[in-house]
Each structure stands twice: as structure tokens, then as C-alpha cells.
Chains A and B, each alone.
Chain A
Amino acid sequence: MSAHPPDGDLPSVVLSVAGLCKSYSHVVAVHEVSFDVHRREVVGLLGPNGAGKTTTINMILGVLSPTAGSVRIGGIDLARERARALAGANFSAVYAPLPGNLTVTENLRFFGLVYGIPRLGDRVGELLRQFDLERLRDTKCGLLSSGEQTRVALAKAVLNRPRLLLLDEPTASLDPAAAQTVRARIRGLAVEGGCGILWTSHNMYEVEEVCDRVLFLSRGRILLEGDPRRLPREHGAATLEELFIRLAREPLAEPLERAG
């Protein structure tokens, strides 16, 4: 688990989610979810399909309003000061590709203006170098390979040097080599860039490699939380994947009794 040393006046907690609920008529998608993400920390949000991970991320991004609860980004209440709160966050998700009819540079300049980035030209140049995109700068994003699109999406996701970075399955469509490179870059963003990262993935190997802490979500509730390298042993499982499968199949009423 990473320590959270104070950096100047910046708050240590970059994301604070409290009592978050989302219901659609009679269906409860997310129920009483609460957690924090700290600076330099990578938190894995794990769970089976339909567990409520993307719903939770959408509520943190302000594109879905919660039925109850609150989201604070860098101490700023999202419901009260949406624009100011979102100025400190960014995201990347496989289901939200950047406009394919704009080139890499055009996309970065467009989103850079939307985020109000100062000295945008310099920042875009810096990101093109950092994410090895200079060769592709004038290529339309729709023509890029999955790996290249992921790199562009990550470059966009760090344009505003976010305090909070949300990554929904960032390596889902990548080959193992490309996925390893992306994981290293993201880990670097947390360690060197100082942001807090909330990461969803179905790849337990990468979760163990990257995440400082994981939250297991099932049927909209957090069942378990802890260090991904210690949790399996603590709950009688050989691997994180085995623990994941067991929790995904647990009846919701008694999630940890047998596991403990």
C-alpha cells in the first residue's frame, strides 16, 4: 500500500465517495457505496459484469446523477460545483473512444481547450512525445489500432494533469506487451504525477501488479476491500482470481462469512 505524503497544500484525499446510491425505478444499481482514493494511490474497482462499476464511475464523472450520496473530487462537491470538481478529474474508457474523425493532435487541442489548459501547444507536444504519438499526430483517431487509440485516450486523460484519473478497463483491447507498457505508464502517472487513480479491470494479474488497494463490488455493494496481494490469503483463496470468482458467486446476504 502506498503512503500518502502531503504535497504542499494539495489534499491527500483526491476522491471521496460517500453513501452513493443509484436506483432505476425498482432496480438498485449501486447501494451505499463509500470509499476514498488518495494521491499516488491506484485503487482497483473490481466486480463481475453488471456489478455497478461503470455506474459508479459515471456518477463520479458527473454524467449520471446519484439517487443519494455525494462525490467530492479534491474536496469539491460534484453536485454543487460540477465544473470546478471536474476540472481536477479526467478519464479513459474503451466504450468512450475519442472522435474518430479528428486527428490525434486535433483531439488533444479540442479537449485541451475544453479543459482550459494554459500553453496548450506546449502541453500537446509534451504529451505526443510522452505517449510516443508524434508519428501519428496527423492521423485520424478512427484509423488507429487499439493500442494506439488507448495511448491517445490516455494522453487526453492526463491533458489537465488531473488529481483524479478514472480508467475503465484501459487495457481491455490490448495485447500483453502493449498492456504491460500501458500499465507501466499509468503506474508512473500515480507515482511521479501524484494523481489518484481508480481503475477497473477483469484482469486479476494486472490488478495485483498495479493496484495498491482493491474494492470488490457485487450487485451494487462493496463486499470487500484491501491489498490485492494479501486479500486472497486473508480469505482462504489461492489467488485473487479465485477470490474474485468466489465473491462474484456469493449470495449477497453473506458475502464474507465463508470467505473469512
Chain B
Amino acid sequence: MRIKPVAGILLRQFYLIRGSPVRSLPMFAWVAIDIVVWGFITRYLNSMAAGRFNYVPSLLGAVLMWDFFARIMQGVSTAFLEDVWSRNFLNLFATPLTISEYILGLVITSVATSMVGLAVMLVLAMAVFGLSFFSLGTLLVPFLLVLFAFGIALGILASALVLRLGPASEWLVWPLPALLSPFVGVFYPLATLPRWMQGVGHLLPPSYVFEGMRQALAGRPFSAAGLALGAALAALDILLAGYLFARVFRYAIRTGLLARYSAESAA
């Protein structure tokens, strides 16, 4: 793995974001709106609960972490889609760039853009709505890491789908986080779900994060084994997504899909 080609992918995304408010605004605008909306909802719920329960950490904290995950996933897939939209595959893959260098470039781009969103969310949630992660303590780090890893895996999977199915399939990949959210219990325990949905939920790493977060916030014993399983699943998902992308890429090289890739030919 060479550093310069990875830096090239990163630099290209930096140029695009620097030159376009349309690209920089979504890095923080939508997550900020989410935090504001859910911040007021939690405030209202707290007033109804009259001090019996604090909704801020369980609801607003969950929104923040879920948005962070979705931003990571979209950060990878948006960086990939920039090459789809500008029909740049031929220029890009006729170079010495390897698939692993390309994907690493997309991942680092996603980390950089998502950190902006995370910082804005944290400032808003803490300063305006009094969210505090002190009760989670150092657990916040592994929670975010598992969500980060699964976001990367889902972003790579989404990119593989678009490469295989054509540019029009980007509309299939945007709602992926929303599709998963009912199964991972962002706002409710997995036990609330029907058994088959619980089964699906147990295969998804974010489930272990949100279950663990609720346990920790409620002061109940926290399942470190559960979080470790979530982390292992997320690592496995990254490997599987990377393998799938490489397979789809080889398919695209074999069939001529990559050489002819455009909205007209691949959709």
C-alpha cells in the first residue's frame, strides 16, 4: 500500500468540498437539524415525565450516535459516487491505483467529513440540550468505534452495489441506514421486537452498541462480551464488504462493465 495514491483520493475529495458549499453544508447541516428536532422532543418528554426519567441521554444520545454511523456510511458512498457522477472510472482505474488504496482513500475521506458532523452534533447536544456522556465515560470510545467500523462496512457494501447495479442504484443505497434502524433498537431494547427481528438485530453490530448504551445509562451491569461480539461482527463485516467490492470490481473488469460504466450502459 502506497501513501501518495491514497493521498490523491483524499486530495480530490478535499478539492471538491472546498470548491462547493453544496458539498460542505450537508456535512453538518442535516445532523444539526436532527439534533435540534430531537433535542426539543426530549425536552418536551422530560417536562411530561416531571423528573421521573431523563430522556436526553437515551434519546438524544441515541440520535447522535445513529447519525454519526449514517454519516460514516454516507461519507464512504458519497466519495465513491463522486467518481460515478464525474464518470471518472476509466481515468482512475487505468492508473497504478490498487483497490485497497482506493478504498482506504474513501474511508479516510469519510472519517474526516464525519468528524465535522460529530463535532457539530456534540457541541449542539451538549451546549444547548445538556447532553452529557459522563455517565458512559470511556465506554463512549468503543461504542463509537463499533459504529464507525460498521458504517465503513456498509459504505463499502453500498459502493459495491452501485458499481454492480449501475449509477441509478444510488437511490437504493441512501436509505440503507433507515432500513437497518428498526432492527438495531436505536430507541428501544431488542426485546421489544418480534423474535425474527431480534434474530436479524443480533447479526448487526449497532444492536450491541445501543443495548450497551441503555444498560450503562440505566446503571445496570454492562455486557462487555456483547460489545466485543459487536466489534468482532463489525470487523468481519468490513472484511466481507471489502471482499465483495473486490469481487464486483473483478466482475466489472471481466465483463467490460467498468470500461463502459455510465448511467446509460449500466443502469
Does chain B have a CB within 8 A of A253? no
- Known contacts A87-B96, A100-B86; is A111 also within 8 Å of B91 by CB? yes
A residues less than 8 Å from B88 (CB atoms): 98-99
Does chain A have a CB within 8 A of B220? no
B residues less than 8 Å from A227 (CB atoms): none
**Size bracket, chain B contacts:** 20 to 34
Q: When the two chains form their complex, are residues A98 and B91 in contact, meaning their CB atoms are under 8 A apart? A: yes
Does chain A have a CB within 8 A of B50? no
Q: When the two chains form their complex, are residues A116 and B5 in contact, meaning their CB atoms are under 8 A apart? A: yes
Among candidates B5, B19, B254, B255, residue contacting A114 with C-beta atoms closer than 8 Å? B5
Among candidates B2, B11, B254, residue contacting A116 with C-beta atoms closer than 8 Å? B2
Chain A residue at minimum C-beta to C-beta distance from B91: A96
Q: Find the residue from B12, B89, B91 having the highest chain A CB count within 10 A.
A: B91
Interface of A is mostly: mixed
Does chain B have a CB within 8 A of A63? yes
* A interface residues, tally (CB under 8 Å): 37
Q: A64 to B257, alpha carbons, bound, how many Å?
A: 8
Interface of B is mostly: helix
Q: When the two chains form their complex, are residues A110 and B4 in contact, meaning their CB atoms are under 8 A apart? A: no
Does chain A have a CB within 8 A of B97? yes
Among candidates A84, A91, A113, residue contacting B11 with C-beta atoms closer than 8 Å? A113
B residues less than 8 Å from A87 (CB atoms): 96
Does chain A have a CB within 8 A of B194? no
Q: When the two chains form their complex, are residues A63 and B94 in contact, meaning their CB atoms are under 8 A apart? A: yes
Chain A residue at minimum C-beta to C-beta distance from B250: A65
Q: When the two chains form their complex, are residues A86 and B95 in contact, meaning their CB atoms are under 8 A apart? A: yes
Chain A residue at minimum C-beta to C-beta distance from B20: A101
Chain A residue at minimum C-beta to C-beta distance from B5: A114
Distance from A208 Cβ to chain B, minimum over Cβ atoms (Å) = 28
Q: A93 to B7, alpha carbons, bound, how many Å?
A: 25
Distance from A200 Cβ to chain B, minimum over Cβ atoms (Å) = 15
Q: When the two chains form their complex, are residues B259 and A58 in contact, meaning their CB atoms are under 8 A apart? A: yes
Q: A158 to B87, alpha carbons, bound, how many Å?
A: 21
A residues less than 8 Å from B98 (CB atoms): 82-83
Among candidates A65, A98, A113, A115, residue contacting B254 with C-beta atoms closer than 8 Å? A65
Complex A-B: 21 CB contacts under 8 Å: A54-B259, A58-B259, A63-B93, A63-B259, A64-B256, A64-B258, A86-B94, A95-B90, A96-B91, A101-B16, A101-B19, A101-B20, A106-B12, A110-B12, A111-B91, A113-B5, A113-B7, A114-B5, A114-B96, A115-B96, A116-B2
- Chain B contacts to A: CB under 8 angstroms: 2, 4-5, 7-9, 11-12, 15-16, 19-20, 86-98, 250, 253-256, 258-259
Kindly list the 8 A-B residue pairs having the minimum CB-CB distance in the complex, ordered from nearest: A113-B8, A61-B94, A99-B86, A83-B96, A114-B8, A96-B90, A87-B96, A58-B259
- Chain A contacts to B: CB under 8 angstroms: 24, 54-55, 58, 61-65, 82-84, 86-87, 89-91, 93, 95-103, 106, 109-116, 156
